[in-house]
Amino acid sequence: MDISLVPTPCPVIDLPTLRSNVTVMASIHPGSRLRPHVKAHKTTAIAAEQVRAGHSSFTCATPREILGLVSAGVGTDLLLANETVDPARLAALSKAQEHATITVAIDSLATLQAASSAGIRNVLIDVNVGLPRCGIAPDSAGELADAARSLGLNVRGVMGYEGHLMMVTDREEKKIKVHEAMTLLTQAHNDVGGDIMSAGGTGTFDMFEGTQVNEVQAGSYALMDTQYALLQHPFAQALWIMGTVISVNSSWVVIDVGLKSLGMDHGNPTVDGYKVWFCSDEHITMSPSEGTVTPRVGDRIRVTPSHVDPTMAMHERAYVVDNGMVVDEWAIDLRGW
Amino acid sequence: MDISLVPTPCPVIDLPTLRSNVTVMASIHPGSRLRPHVKAHKTTAIAAEQVRAGHSSFTCATPREILGLVSAGVGTDLLLANETVDPARLAALSKAQEHATITVAIDSLATLQAASSAGIRNVLIDVNVGLPRCGIAPDSAGELADAARSLGLNVRGVMGYEGHLMMVTDREEKKIKVHEAMTLLTQAHNDVGGDIMSAGGTGTFDMFEGTQVNEVQAGSYALMDTQYALLQHPFAQALWIMGTVISVNSSWVVIDVGLKSLGMDHGNPTVDGYKVWFCSDEHITMSPSEGTVTPRVGDRIRVTPSHVDPTMAMHERAYVVDNGMVVDEWAIDLRGW
């Protein structure tokens, strides 16, 4: 199928670019050195590309992401890098332990108790390294690990997400701050024990030399987005939302891609050759830039979302393209909670 | 089921409030005077509430919304108030004409041709009344209607969405501007003919006295959101996203409702009794306001989304509550395109 025939709005993924991103990252962080975060793409077919590049451990943000990977038989070592006290979902994760190693992050006695009650066998102590979100204070991590072991759980180590540093643009400043954060994580790790020291994201993937971090939780690198692209990484944009021009006049153009098909938390999308005026539920209104030929109704136009993760979560499927032809259709099958 | 047992994050709809909103609107715009817009809720069960209140005509933004209503047997007169040139989707709408009256908005010869080729029988001329989006210039509307009739189509009239005026807060100023916009629509209607003059939304639903508008396309009134609530309408918030506290410390609280479960184009959500710091993909970080008792992990907290329409589109189902008990579970079954 020619790319001009996909039903719009829909995500289109450039397969060579995706594969290049996955290959480049696997050369920097091979095998278990990378625990790819599936929340960025929510697609088992992309996780399978990451398996083919040598990774078998994955990071997930929701129970549904873990259960979906288990159903698809993708990955053998799955981390819920997030807290939950939902007994039904923890029970489902517990049951899935028959098929994969499942590890759940905990940061409190309450989350420990919930995991333990459901029969979860492996936990990781989630440590706050500066981002005001989940994670126990570094100097309390050892005590929580002791409590987990006293309940018979296997404590695999620590994780700490330095999300507040992802968008620091000065590399030297970023390296100093990441190392400060990882010093906190190391202190916690010394008290906690276990093999794993997990951290990082696409914004900091190359900042861990000289630290004891032994796995990086990057996810966005596979598809990339305009914000991370500012950091000048060796990864390229592989995802767009394809739209169709539905209305044209002398001043503006309307396409059928709107805010229900775009993550909007990083602001408006961009469109090459156009100035985006505003997004409605099902439309972008925009004007051609100087030099852009006014399109016709029915023409296809690619939209670059400002934030890939929530954009992927809005769509049921993505079309996979290579050299202008659709070569596959992938279900975005890890959506929901 | 007690409301405290719903799996989070999830939409919860207060049934008495929803029914009050629907009843109040039906008393102001009874029967065909209202053509409720289903894009606001994407839920056939809510459309069925609107049918019980006396409406049988609906406004849709996507072919999927129309086809879903047809499948559910809800509504008899369905308008696609949006342009499309997708041959497959227009063919599906054409086939659905066996089961309901389906009308498609057109604003150009290209959209007319696409509708005609697919066998669509009824069209409405979409007229630009000031919002820079779809819609033909008012003085070209008659010519497009003539072209449609020459192809054998039934031209039912005109629609014009004055979306640029929804959030004007001064009622007198708004009324003057809405009437100016409707003067443009009336001029077009005079040239186009047909029975229908369709316009409006929740922000302007009570602005049409003295105009020839004979159906109002409001949708958000059923569930409401914080932005429309600023307008002091007789409708109340009926939708929240229920969250669970997953992490607590002395400075902040984290709940499992994040930007993947909230429309973010109107900015951050609000949480009664808390100051929202920021949203991540799966979290809100916030601090208790003075007087709010610090919650415990596992406690439930209701989040008020800033924009209902895209929020509903992110969830598979909503829990319907009455007096603290879950009385029903509704599929949000009109999602997608």
- The length of chain B is 337
For B:262-281, CB contacts with A below 8 A are 263-265, 277, 279-281
How many Å apart are CA A125 and CA A122, to the nearest integer? 10
Tell me what pLDDT residue B268 has.
Answer: 96
Tell me what pLDDT residue B264 has.
Answer: 95
Distance from CA of A279 to the nearest CA of B (A): 9
Tell me what pLDDT residue B285 has.
Answer: 98
Nearest residue to A34 (alpha-carbon basis) of A204, A282, A277? A204
Q: H/E element holding A173? A: helix A171-192
Cis omega before residue B9 (within 30°)?
A: yes
How many Å apart are CA B147 and CA B151, to the nearest integer? 7
Average pLDDT, chain A: 97
Give percent of chain A with pLDDT exceeding 70.
100
The DSSP call for residue B293 is: P
Pairing of strands A300-303, A196-199: unpaired
Q: Which amino acid, one-letter code, is at B48? A: A
DSSP, residue by residue, A143-167 = HHHHHHHHTT-EEEEEEE--GGGTT
Tokens of B293: 């008792």
Cβ partners under 8 Å of residue A98, min gap 6: none
Cβ partners under 8 Å of residue A298, min gap 6: A244, A245, B85, B110, B114
pLDDT-based confidence at A227, cuts 50/70/90?
Answer: confident
**Minimal Cα distance from A4: which residue of B?**
B86
Tell me what pLDDT residue A210 has.
Answer: 96
In A, which residues are within 8 Å of B42 by CB distance?
none
Domains and CATH numbers, chain B: 3-10+235-331 (2.40.37.20), 15-222 (3.20.20.10)
pLDDT-based confidence at A304, cuts 50/70/90?
Answer: very high
Pairing of strands A253-255, A284-288: antiparallel
For residues A24-45, average pLDDT? 98
Local confidence pLDDT in tens for the 337 residues of chain B: 889 899 999 999 999 999 999 999 999 999 999 999 999 999 999 999 999 999 999 999 999 999 999 999 999 999 999 999 999 999 999 999 999 999 999 999 999 999 999 999 999 999 999 999 999 999 999 999 999 999 999 999 999 999 999 889 899 999 999 999 999 999 999 999 999 999 999 999 999 999 999 999 999 999 998 777 777 789 999 999 999 999 999 999 999 999 999 999 999 999 999 999 999 999 999 999 999 999 999 999 999 999 999 999 999 999 999 998 999 999 999 999 9
Tokens of B136: 């033909």
pLDDT at position A225 over 90 = no
Cis omega before residue A9 (within 30°)?
A: yes
Decide: A196 and A188 in contact? Cβ < 8 Å. no
The DSSP call for residue B179 is: H
pLDDT at position A232 over 90 = no
Tell me what pLDDT residue A176 has.
Answer: 96
Decide: B330 and B43 in contact? Cβ < 8 Å. yes
How many Å apart are CA B236 and CA A43, to the nearest integer? 38
The pTM for the full model equals 0.96
Tell me what pLDDT residue A46 has.
Answer: 98
For A:75-114, CB contacts with B below 8 A are 82-86, 88-89, 107-108, 110-111, 114
ipTM of the complex: 0.96
Instruction: Say which of A7, A249, A309 has its CB closest to residue B88.
Output: A7
Would the CB atoms of A282 and B61 count as touching at under 8 Å? yes
Q: Does A162 touch chain B (CB under 8 A)?
A: no
Tell me what pLDDT residue B232 has.
Answer: 77
Inter-CA distances, A129 with A135, A193, A195, B119, Å: 8, 17, 19, 61
Q: Which amino acid, one-letter code, is at B186? A: T
For residues A242-262, average pLDDT? 98
For A:17-76, CB contacts with B below 8 A are 39, 61-62
pLDDT at position A84 over 90 = yes
Tell me what pLDDT residue A334 has.
Answer: 98
Would the CB atoms of A134 and B283 count as touching at under 8 Å? yes
Predicted confidence (pLDDT) per residue in A105-144, tens digit: 999 999 999 999 999 999 999 999 999 999 999 999 999 9
Cβ partners under 8 Å of residue B243, min gap 6: B8, B9, B255, B256, B257, B284, B300, B301, B302, B303
Tell me what pLDDT residue A228 has.
Answer: 78
Would the CB atoms of B282 and A82 count as touching at under 8 Å? yes
Cβ partners under 8 Å of residue A183, min gap 6: none
Token pair 């696997």 is at which residue?
Answer: A26
Q: Which amino acid, one-letter code, is at A317? A: R
Cα angle for residues B275, B220, B135 (degrees, 5° grid) = 120
Q: How many CB atoms lie within 10 A of CB B150?
A: 10
For residues A46-63, average pLDDT? 98
Burial class (CB in 10 A: 0-12, 13-18, 19+), B230: exposed
- The length of chain A is 337
Paired with B105 in beta bridges are B124
DSSP, residue by residue, A253-306 = EEES--TTSS--TT---B-TTEEEEEE-SS-EEEEEPTTPPP--TT-EEEEB-S
